[in-house]
Structure 1
Amino acid sequence: MHFAYPPRKNSNPPLFRPRSTRLSLLRRSRLRTIALVFLACVAAAYFLFGSSKPSLYHERVPSGSPPVVLVTVIDPTTWDNAYLNTVKENREKYAAKHGYEAMVVKAFDYDSHGAPPSWAKVVAMRHALSKYPDCNFIWYLDQNAFIMDPTKSLESLVLETKTLETLMIKDYPVVPPDSIIKTFSHLRGQDADFIVSQDKDSLVHTSEHIVQWHPTVLSKLALVPQRTFAAYSKAELGDSYQKGDFVVLFPDCKPTGPQSCETESKRYLADWRSALGLR
């Protein structure tokens, strides 16, 4: 029994139908979606696990021990030793009363490489920062001054945020009367790192330069009234000392003679020693 052969195929088969572009676009969108989901998962994993690792770089916050280091540079080669010993006692007694540290150092302890001796003040403050890295503040006070009211702490006087904000002179020329560079009007007490008292003659030249040409310093500067911690012994120099003021300065006193620092300071000696219970 014979079966018929299947019909012969056409020797000219139809051309292949073109691939659907819709399918191609669909696959591309799927790949894009998968890639985005993968990246999102990687980002989520990083934020959950990677960011929890401690950063290699972080701002070091001082512990506040000691809270303040009081720095004074003295020059025994020029000034009377008896007077300088009184200055040293004044600083050390005050610092001990409030839990601060006092650094009374000699100017010749630092090599200024030919610079004026006053530059030893800068090096001394750097020395204090390296010796007491956990202190909150460095208070520099010249040798021609006495702390007159040792009962006042720097915190209650100027360092507490609310107190400082009531004292801050804002939007005021750093070189009065008409400097275009002024203290920041929006600076808060908690953000101030550089507290300076300003007299009628403005800041000293070096401080003027730093404040005017270094915006980082200006942005942290708090100017306070002169008598906050810098009353003058003579009225013609600025706000003069009155009983109850924190500090008295003798800016024009000389190493020797009738206008020496020792002579000018004698009338204040008994008051601060009495306030500390000393004879």
Structure 2
Amino acid sequence: MQFAVPPRKGPSPPPYARASLLTFHRRKQLKATAILTLALLAVFFLLSQLFRNRAGNSAAPIGTSGVVIVTLLDRASYSDSYLQKIIKNREDYAERHGYTNFFANLSDYDSYIGNSPRSWGIVPAVRHAMASHPSATYFFHLDAHALFMNPNESLEARLLNKHRLESLMRRDVPVVPPDSIIKTFSHLRSEDIDLIATNDAEDLATGSFVIRQGDFARFFLDTWFDPLYRSYNFAKAETHSLEHIVQWHPTVLARLALVPQRVINSYSKDSTHAAVDGTYKDGDLIIRFFECDTDPKRSCEKEMGPYYSLWAKKLKIE
């Protein structure tokens, strides 16, 4: 026997009509959610590009310098005449190649250095330069007791060009000469590099190095300046601290390129511990009077005098 379905009472719509209405509202909600999600992703993308530019991983804005030369001056220990020669030499070189100079005063970092040797001042000086020039790409720290002797050769041509750096990188060699068991990686390429340095016959050179702006640079400098390292009784303070970090932290070693000493760190004939073929020759970009400020038998001002005169004479010829 079949029973008739009793009719619904009142004007209420049938169940299928209600389901269609709910589906319509659901689709509108999903569409709105999708649009909002896409908008948020677009905002996050734009912000990431902005912060990337600020970190120095993209091209520097027009009108800004891609290279900053960092020089730490001890104004209390040397005559104004001597310091002005150093400054003039740096200013001439920077002007020729569109670079920027950052002259730091050692006394400005005394409160950060504390009881540690004052040679540690190079680390906060470079960090200060990076904070002051966030759009620059490279920071070249050069010891004050040094001169640019080949003014027409740019750092790009000498070192920073991708293919040039590739040809200069010393692979699978001891980080600390002559026989450190930790060696530079053999697989690295120029695009992997954020820190460029040299070594002499005994140590990594802290008086002449290049670091690239970015997250690694900030991490590296903060690690290097850690109070634990500054309080440790390293015989050569920041130099031995750097050697420790590079040898025992593969993250740093994987970003390091060692290049021949004379590329950016030629020693004067009176300097000790030069590497094989590490002493200055005519045509080199830089001459450095290594340890002239720590050897009581030497005078930085006297050693620099003849080379400064030669440089000044060269400018007049040109």
Shift of residue 258, structure 1, vs aligned partner: 6.9
Correspondence for 2:280: 241
Structure 1 residues 195 and 237, CA gap change in structure 2 (3 angstroms): same
List, as ranges, runs of 4+ consecutive aligned residues in structure 1 with deviation greater than 6 Å: 255-258
Structure 2 unaligned residues grouped into runs of 5+: 1-29, 205-238
- Aligned residue type for 1:86: K
Opposite residue 246 of structure 2, the aligned amino acid is V
CA-based RMSD of the aligned residues comes to: 2.6
Partner of 2:102: 103
Q: CA deviation at 1:240?
A: 1.3
Residue number in structure 1 paired with 2:234: none
1:122 aligns with 2:150: no
Shift of 1:252: 2.9
Of all paired residues, the percent bearing the same amino acid is: 42
Q: Distance in 1 between matches of 2:100 and 2:285?
A: 18
- The aligned counterpart of 1:53 is 42
CA distance in 1, matches of 2:137, 2:167: 21
**Deviation by residue 1:102-123 (Cα, 9 ceiling, x = unmatched):** 1122100222223221121111
- Quick check: 2:292–2:298 contact (8 Å CA) kept in 1? yes
What one-letter code is carried by the residue in structure 2 that aligns with 1:220? R
Q: Secondary structure at the match of 2:42?
A: coil
- Give the counterpart letter for 2:179 in structure 1: D
Is the contact made by 1:195 and 1:222 (CA closer than 8 Å) also made in structure 2? yes
CA distance in 2 between partners of 1:192 and 1:275 (Å): 34
- Pair 1:174–1:135, CA change in 2 (3 A): same
Shift of 1:57: 4.8
Distance in 1 (CA, whole Å) between partners of 2:80 and 2:317 is 20
Cα distance per residue 1:103-150 (max 9 Å; x no partner): 122100222223221121111111110110011110000111111111
Matched, 1:212 2:247: yes
The range that moved more, 209-218 or 237-246, is 209-218
Deviates more, 1:64-73 or 1:170-179: 170-179
Rg: which structure is higher? 1
Is 1:251 aligned to 2:314, yes or no? no
The residue type equivalent to 1:53 in the other structure is A
- Runs (5+) with no aligned partner, structure 1: 1-40
1:167 touches 1:224 (CA, 8 Å); kept in 2? yes
TM-score normalised per structure 1:
0.76
Q: Deviations over 1:4-49 (max 9, x none)?
A: xxxxxxxxxxxxxxxxxxxxxxxxxxxxxxxxxxxxx99xx79x95
Correspondence list, 1:121-270, <5 A: 121-203=122-204, 204-234=239-269, 236-238=272-274, 239-254=278-293, 259-270=298-309
Q: Deviations over 1:195-238 (max 9, x none)?
A: 00111113131220221232222111000000001111127531
| Residue aligned with 1:242, SS | coil
2:76 counterpart residue number:
77
**Greater shift in the superposed pair: 184-193 or 112-121:** 112-121
Contact 1:92 1:102 (C-alpha < 8 Å) held by counterparts:
yes
**What SS does the aligned partner of 1:89 have?**
helix
2:72–2:104 Cα contact (<8 Å) kept: yes
In the TM superposition, what is the alpha-carbon distance from 1:278 to its structure 2 partner?
A: 8.5
Instruction: Please say which of residues 171-180 and 192-201 is displaced more in the overlay.
Output: 171-180
Are the equivalent residues in 2 in contact too, given 1:174–1:183 (CA < 8 A)? yes
User: Following the alignment from structure 1 to structure 2, what is the Cα–Cα distance between the partners of residues 278 and 84?
Assistant: 24
CA distance in 2, matches of 1:148, 1:94: 9
CA contact (8 A) 1:80 1:255 kept: no
Amino acid at match of 1:224: V
Distance apart, 1:174 and its partner CA: 0.6
1:209/1:257 CA distance change after superposition, 3 Å: closer
1:271 paired residue number: 310
The 8 Å contact of residues 79 and 256 in structure 1, kept in 2 or not, is answered as no
State the Cα deviation string for residues 236-263 of structure 1 (Å, max 9, x = none).
5312111111111111324898721110
Query: Is contact 1:78–1:255 with CA below 8 Å preserved after alignment?
Result: no
C-alpha separation between the residues in 2 aligned to 1:269 and 1:50?
60
Q: How many residues align?
A: 236
